[in-house]
């Protein structure tokens, strides 16, 4: 992982629903020790962001901290943008708004929209296809009028059995301790226009398949890739949904390879 020739390549790591920038701590530490610049922002109402979910009515509001980060980059700087799980939709929105700032978009067992359907399409296909047994996940209406997105919090059973089944007991405890109420923002994403071919569609994409993912299972990951082909597909064996915790070394090798090729 020598990076002496290009020491300033920048990774931006985007977490999934109910998680925060903290979920990347192992991968971020490995990348930084190898000489890379790493930013792992907390999206709105996530991690240590102080806002409650009810103050984040739209997916764009939720992704706001990532959009502000990309908007603040100096002219000419490009990042390797990595999205995990629902973070893939945030990456897609960021690539749509700032295609000139993204050297490559990496989808880590993540929802990956195409540029012909509304961005909710991959989420709707996932839900309608019963790809996941939601078990003890709590889904709740936030307001009587239905103007706010449905809230979501993964329970202890689904977390242990579907998300972190290959993680250490310490990591399982960490995930359970730091999870926050979030949303898939399906209602809002259903009324958004598809991302465009000349912006989001122009950004080079890599998909990293987690072979033992029991949340977004490999079959659905492959469906998304078939639906919207990418430049490159990578695989990580013996990784669960939280790859950054269960297999950080293998993940970092994949990300360094992406940076070497595209950044």
Task: Write out the catalytic residue numbers.
Answer: 85, 213, 241
CB atoms within 10 A of CB 4: 6
User: CB–CB of 152/145 below 8 Å?
Assistant: no
Handedness of CA 81, 167, 152, 132 (dihedral sign): positive
Q: Is 80 helix (H, G, I), strand (E, B) or coil?
A: strand
Tokens, residue 247: 């297999």
DSSP 214-240: TTTTHHHHHHHHHHS--SEEEEETT--
Tokens, residue 259: 């940076």
d(CA 263, CA 259): 5
Neighbour-count burial for 187-205, b at 16+ CB within 10 Å, e otherwise: bbbeebebbeeeebbebbb
User: CB–CB of 43/65 below 8 Å?
Assistant: yes
H or E element that contains 177: helix 169-178
């Amino acid at each position: 992982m020598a990076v002496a020739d290009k020491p300033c390549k920048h990774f931006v790591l985007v977490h999934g629903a109910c998680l925060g920038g903290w979920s990347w701590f192992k991968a971020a530490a490995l990348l930084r020790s190898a000489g890379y610049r790493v930013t792992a922002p907390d999206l709105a109402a996530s991690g240590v962001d102080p806002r409650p979910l009810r103050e984040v009515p739209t997916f764009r509001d939720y992704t706001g901290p990532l959009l502000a980060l990309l908007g603040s980059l100096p002219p000419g700087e490009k990042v390797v943008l990595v999205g995990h799980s629902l973070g893939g939709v945030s990456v897609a929105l960021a690539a749509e708004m700032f295609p000139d700032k993204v050297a490559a978009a990496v989808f880590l067992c993540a929802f990956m929209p195409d540029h012909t359907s509304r961005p909710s399409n991959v989420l709707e296909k996932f839900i309608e296809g019963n790809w996941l047994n939601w078990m003890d996940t709590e889904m709740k209406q936030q307001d009587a009028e239905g103007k706010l997105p449905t809230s979501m919090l993964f329970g202890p059973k689904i977390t242990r059995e579907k998300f972190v089944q290959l993680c250490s007991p310490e990591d399982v405890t960490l995930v359970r301790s730091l999870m926050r109420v979030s949303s898939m923002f399906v209602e809002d994403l259903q009324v958004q226009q598809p991302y465009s071919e000349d912006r989001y569609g122009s950004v080079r994409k890599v998909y990293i398949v987690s072979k033992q993912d029991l949340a977004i299972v490999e079959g659905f990951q492959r469906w998304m890739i078939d639906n919207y082909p990418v430049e490159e597909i990578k695989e990580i064996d013996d990784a669960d949904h939280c790859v950054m915790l269960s297999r950080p070394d293998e993940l970092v090798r994949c990300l360094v390879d992406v940076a070497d090729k595209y950044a």
